[in-house]
Structure 1
Amino acid sequence: MNRWYAVGALVVVGAVLYLTRGILLPFVAGMALSYFLDPLTDRLEARGLARGVAAAFVIGFFSLVFVGILVALAPTILSQFERLIAVLPETLAGLRPWLNETIADLSARFGFSIAAEAESVLGTYGGEILARARDAVLGLLQSGLALFNLLSLMLITPVVAFYLLRDWDHMIARLDSWLPVEQAAAIRQIFRDIDSALSGFVRGQIIVCLCMAVLYGTGWTLIGLNFALILGLVAGVLAFVPFLGALTASVLALTMGVAQWGLDPLKLVLVFLIHVIVQNIEGSFLTPRLVGSRVGLHPVWVLFAVFAGGEVMGLVGVLIAVPLAAAIAVFVRFAVGQYQSVNVVTASSSPADEASAQTPVSSSGKAEGGGS
Structure 2
Amino acid sequence: MKWGVEFWLRVAIAAGFAAIIIAAPSVLFPFVVSLIITTLLNPVAHAVYGQTQKMGWTRFPYDFAILFSFALFIAVIYLIGVHIFVPFISEFQEFIKSVPGMLAAVQQAVPELEKQYQLSLMPPEAKSLFARILQDIGEYTLKIASFSLSAIFSFASTVVELIVVPFITFYMMKRGGYFVNAFIHIFPDRFHHHLEELFKEIHFVLNAYIRGQLLLSTLMAVVVFIGMWTLNIPYPLVIGLLAGIVEMVPLIGPIIGAIPPVLLGLLQGTTVMLQVIFFYIIVQQVDGHFVMPKLMGSIINVHPVAIIAGVLIGGKIFGVLGMMIAVPLVAVLQILLKHMWFYDRYKKVR
- Comparing 97-106 with 301-310, which one deviates more in the overlay? 97-106
1:90 matched to 2:101:
yes
Aligned residues: 322
Listed as ranges, the matches of 1:37-186 within 5 Å are 37-46=41-50, 47=53, 48=58, 49-99=60-110, 109-110=122-123, 147-152=153-158, 155-186=163-194
- Comparing 217-226 with 248-257, which one deviates more in the overlay? 248-257
**Residue of 9, 19, 23 corresponding to 2:23:** 19
**Alpha-carbon distance, 1:83 to partner:** 2.6
Q: 1:105-124, CA deviations, whole angstroms, 9 ceiling, x for partnerless residues? A: 767532669569999xxxxx
Listed as ranges, the matches of 1:1-372 within 5 Å are 5=9, 8-9=12-13, 11-22=15-26, 24-46=28-50, 47=53, 48=58, 49-99=60-110, 109-110=122-123, 147-152=153-158, 155-259=163-267, 261=268, 263-265=269-271, 267-313=272-318, 317=322, 320-335=325-340, 342=347
Q: 1:129-158, CA deviations, whole angstroms, 9 ceiling, x for partnerless residues? A: 9xxx9xxx9xx9xxx998553323765533
Opposite residue 109 of structure 1, the aligned amino acid is M
Do the aligned residues in 2 keep the contact of 1:190 with 1:334 (CA within 8 Å)? yes
Do the aligned residues in 1 keep the contact of 2:39 with 2:207 (CA within 8 Å)? no
Opposite residue 278 of structure 2, the aligned amino acid is L
Query: How far apart are the structure 1 equivalents of 2:317 and 2:250?
Result: 20
Could you list the runs of 5+ residues in structure 2 that have no partner in the other structure?
Answer: none
Query: How far apart are the structure 2 equivalents of 1:306 and 1:146?
Result: 22
**Hey, what does 1:370 align to over in structure 2?**
none
- Comparing 221-230 with 9-18, which one deviates more in the overlay? 9-18
Which secondary structure state, in structure 2, belongs to the residue aligned with residue 224 of structure 1?
coil
Opposite residue 335 of structure 2, the aligned amino acid is V
TM-score by length of 2: 0.76
**Alpha-carbon distance, 1:275 to partner:** 0.9
Q: 1:257-297, CA deviations, whole angstroms, 9 ceiling, x for partnerless residues? A: 123x0x322x1122112212221221232112211014312
- Comparing 101-110 with 162-171, which one deviates more in the overlay? 101-110
**Hey, what does 1:355 align to over in structure 2?**
none
TM-score by length of 1: 0.72
Identity %: 23
Query: How far apart are the structure 1 equivalents of 2:124 and 2:153?
Result: 51
Q: 1:30-87, CA deviations, whole angstroms, 9 ceiling, x for partnerless residues? A: 1232244334333434435423222221122112112211211123312322332443
CA RMSD in angstroms, aligned pairs only: 3.8
Could you list the runs of 5+ residues in structure 1 that have no partner in the other structure?
Answer: 120-128, 347-372
Query: How far apart are the structure 1 equivalents of 2:346 and 2:177?
Result: 33
Opposite residue 214 of structure 2, the aligned amino acid is I
Opposite residue 38 of structure 1, the aligned amino acid is N
- Comparing 4-13 with 110-119, which one deviates more in the overlay? 110-119
